[in-house]
């Protein structure tokens, strides 16, 4: 189904999953929904204390809200007409793309903000990191960032996509298989 401006959504018979144009569209939407999370990641890493883990969860909430808002807006368009299931699948693909981009960009931000990559040693702020982290604090911080950006964003995106596709759909009659 056509979104307008060249955007397409997955429908059962409209295209195959290996079409590069559709994957680029999902990546564009995925980057769009990951912006809020990445802004909170930049804030978290720029503080150099690494004790405000709640900021990362705020980013997960922004990710959830952006997926919810995107699927809601796409479902409310007059010409959309996609079924609830195809809308949910498109939301899941957008969530996966957003989570994957969040992971990749978060690792790049970690390398830029935390490690002195070119000097070969870690930032002094990791020595004063949260006491819950183990002796290898930089690896612990990277594990926290990776789990938060991958698992939490994927789960929150899937939840928002499923919920929104069934609530915001204009055609509330049952899907026909």
The model's pLDDT over 40-70, given as tens digits with 9 standing for 90+, comes to 999 998 887 777 889 999 999 999 999 999 9
Q: What is the C-alpha to C-alpha distance for residues 48 and 141, in angstroms, rounded to an integer?
A: 12
Output the pTM of the full model: 0.75
pLDDT of residue 33: 92
Q: What is the pLDDT of residues 111-158, one digit of tens each?
A: 888 775 555 555 555 555 554 555 556 667 888 899 999 999 999 999
Distances (CA, A) of 133 to 7, 65, 144: 44, 30, 10
The closest of 86, 88, 77 to 161, measured between CA atoms, is 88
pLDDT of residue 111: 87
Which H helix or E strand runs over 4? strand 2-4
Mark out the alpha helices in 47-170 (DSSP H runs): 54-76, 84-113, 137-147, 153-167
- For residue 74, the cross-strand partners are none
* Number of other residues whose CB lies within 10 A of the CB of residue 91: 29
């Amino acid at each position: 189904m056509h979104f307008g401006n060249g955007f397409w959504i997955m429908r059962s018979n409209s295209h195959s999953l290996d079409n590069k144009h559709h994957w680029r569209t999902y990546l564009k939407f995925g980057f769009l929904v990951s912006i809020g999370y990445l802004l909170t990641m930049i804030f978290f890493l720029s503080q150099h204390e690494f004790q405000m883990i709640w900021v990362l969860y705020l980013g997960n909430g922004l990710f959830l809200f952006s997926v919810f808002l995107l699927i809601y807006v796409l479902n409310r368009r007059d010409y959309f007409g996609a079924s609830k299931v195809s809308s949910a699948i498109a939301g899941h693909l957008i969530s996966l793309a957003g989570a994957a981009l969040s992971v990749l960009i978060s690792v790049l931000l970690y390398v830029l903000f935390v490690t002195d990559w070119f000097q070969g040693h870690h930032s002094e702020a990791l020595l004063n990191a949260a006491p819950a982290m183990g002796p290898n604090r930089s690896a612990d911080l990277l594990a926290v960032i990776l789990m938060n950006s991958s698992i939490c964003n994927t789960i929150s995106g899937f939840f928002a996509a499923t919920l929104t596709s069934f609530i915001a759909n204009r055609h509330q009659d049952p899907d026909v298989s």
